[in-house]
């Protein structure tokens, strides 16, 4: 199996493939003013981490989910038959136009500016995008955290840098907040358990254990920044 396939195999058994929680989703729905009968897209839905909360918070909404990993979408279809789930590139989502495009921990795959530019054409007038992206929480981050994220190929900026990327793309920031430790614990607690019993891909297991250890030691220096935004 390739590294990418290992990752999918490992996360297929988990309900969450990135940090996030109920509170942050409810906050985004409220800031975005997402109506009860909304059309909502979960872009980069993974195995469907946020779909139970979306379905519960907006039971009359039409929910579409897209992910590039076919096994994740098979699982989403099995778990949530009422969700219209698609394998594909979230830069070019089906359906819509949407009142809300929600994208938790996935926008970095496209880049903020390209993602917003693609999604603008898929929003209703008055529609919003809510996304989360990894940022430094401190101005002088610790060396082990810098080295770790650099090795992962991620160039983290500050919350202000992220807001500037959004406004620079011609969008308004309607609200912004940190995810906070609860959202990381919701991701890492089941992942740590899964790593203890997972027998494949030793390199991947080591890398994910290192990521969890980094968060325990230096998690105060970085966090997911949530942004709700609309075209200006």
Ligand X SMILES: C[S@@+](CC[C@H](N)C(=O)[O-])C[C@H]1O[C@@H](n2cnc3c(N)ncnc32)[C@H](O)[C@@H]1O
Q: How far is the CB of 166 from ligand X (least distance, A)?
A: 19
Q: Is 80 one of the binding residues for ligand X (CB under 6 A)?
A: no
Please give the Cα distance from 162 to 136 (Å, whole number).
Answer: 10
Helices 181-197 and 22-32, axial angle in degrees (round to 10): 140
Which among 166, 98, 170 is positioned nearest to 131, based on CA atoms? 166
Q: How far is the CB of 60 from ligand X (least distance, A)?
A: 23
CB atoms within 10 A of CB 200: 11
Question: Which window, 38-46, 164-172, 174-182, 200-208, contacts ligand X (CB under 6 A)?
Answer: 38-46
Q: Which is nearer to ligand X, 86 or 123 (CB)?
A: 86
Q: Is 49 one of the binding residues for ligand X (CB under 6 A)?
A: yes
Question: Which window, 39-47, 134-142, 155-163, 178-186, contacts ligand X (CB under 6 A)?
Answer: 39-47
According to DSSP, residue 224 is labeled E
Among 10, 40, 41, 44, binds ligand X (CB under 6 A): 44
Element of type H or E holding 185 = helix 181-197
- CA 86: distance to chain centroid? 17
Contacts with ligand X by CB under 6 A lie at 16-18, 20, 44-46, 49, 66-69, 72, 89-91, 104-106, 109-110
């Amino acid at each position: 199996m390739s590294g990418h396939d290992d990752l999918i195999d490992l996360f297929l058994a988990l309900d969450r493939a990135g940090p996030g929680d109920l509170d942050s989703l409810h906050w985004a729905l409220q800031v975005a003013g997402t109506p009860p009968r909304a059309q909502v897209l979960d872009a980069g839905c993974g195995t469907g981490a946020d779909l139970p909360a979306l379905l519960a918070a907006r039971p009359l909404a039409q929910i579409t989910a897209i992910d590039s990993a076919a096994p994740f979408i098979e699982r989403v279809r099995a778990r949530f038959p009422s969700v219209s789930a698609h394998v594909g590139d979230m830069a070019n989502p089906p359906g819509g136009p949407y009142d809300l495009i929600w994208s938790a921990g996935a926008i970095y795959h496209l880049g903020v500016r390209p993602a917003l530019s693609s999604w603008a054409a898929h929003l209703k007038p008055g529609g919003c995008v809510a996304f989360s992206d990894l940022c430094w929480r401190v101005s002088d981050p610790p060396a082990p955290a810098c080295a770790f994220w650099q090795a992962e190929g991620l160039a983290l900026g500050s919350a202000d840098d992220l807001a500037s990327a959004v406004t620079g793309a011609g969008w308004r920031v309607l609200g912004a907040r940190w995810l906070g430790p609860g959202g990381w614990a919701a991701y890492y607690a089941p992942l740590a358990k899964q790593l203890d019993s997972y027998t494949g891909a030793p390199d991947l297991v080591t890398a994910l254990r290192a990521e969890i250890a980094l968060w325990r030691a230096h998690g105060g220096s970085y966090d997911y920044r949530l942004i709700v935004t609309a075209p200006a």
